[in-house]
Amino acid sequence: MSCYDEFPEYYDLIYNRFQQSDTFLKLTQYSFNRDERLLDLCCGTGEVTAHLLKKGFWNITCMDAELGMLSVARKKLEKYDLEFTCASMCEFSADNEFDGIMVRQAINYLLDEDRLVDGLRHMYLALRPYGRLVFNAPNHWPEKEYKDRMHECTQDNLQVIVHETNTLDGKILTHKQRCIIHDMEKETIVRLTDENTFAMYTREEFSHALDAAGFSKHHYYGAGLCHYTKESPSMYFLATK
């Protein structure tokens, strides 16, 4: 069961801790010009697009594989004249249409290196000459441990407690979140389990995949867009066609 298709209305609450980091938002804002045509690929509930719209960007297409997530994004962004499309990273078809593509917290759903290259190739073909791709990913290395954690968050009248477990089998990480959601206004409690599977790639594997997909150059950063180190919790990539 996944939040993406079963209960997308709770996504922003359950994943709040991942949305608190502004590093990815800064990288997108610095990498693109306000008048360029952008694709928010795997847009989820539209958080990245919402941020860019507030900064003066306007020509953005939102794309996601899950209709439920797109429904939440449409409602959140209803006052803007945007295009919404349902397609996945390896299914969408576009030819030199976009100046920039952004993929936040989703590139690891390409579950093996062939699919990673294939997905990146789709993005490469969708970009105009000298177009840029921005994405982020967990900073993985073979000896890294993924520990269980507890999180709490409150949004409006909703409070959530999340017990996060991570199980690594080879390169595949199963990420499970057991959630207790308390509606403090209605005095109701909902219990949900959100489970997703990712492929974990090293910085070198991402670099090789970008080369194989055809990108001419790419840069990578650590948290805060600082110099990448092994201790960085996340990686941020900027690739140019």
| Residues spanned by the domain of 153 | 149-199
Q: Do 61 and 123 sit in the same domain of this protein?
A: yes
Q: Do 104 and 133 sit in the same domain of this protein?
A: yes
- Whole-number average pLDDT of the chain: 94
> Torsion-angle region of residue 194: left (phi > 0), alpha (psi -120 to 50) or beta?
beta
Q: How confident is the model at residue 232 (pLDDT cuts 50, 70, 90)?
A: confident
Average pLDDT over residues 142-171: 91
Q: Do 96 and 119 sit in the same domain of this protein?
A: yes
Domain count, the chain: 2
Whole-structure pTM value? 0.95
Q: Do 84 and 194 sit in the same domain of this protein?
A: no
Question: Which pLDDT value is given to residue 93?
Answer: 84
Q: How confident is the model at residue 1 (pLDDT cuts 50, 70, 90)?
A: low
Position with higher pLDDT, 109 vs 5:
109
Average pLDDT over residues 1-24: 87
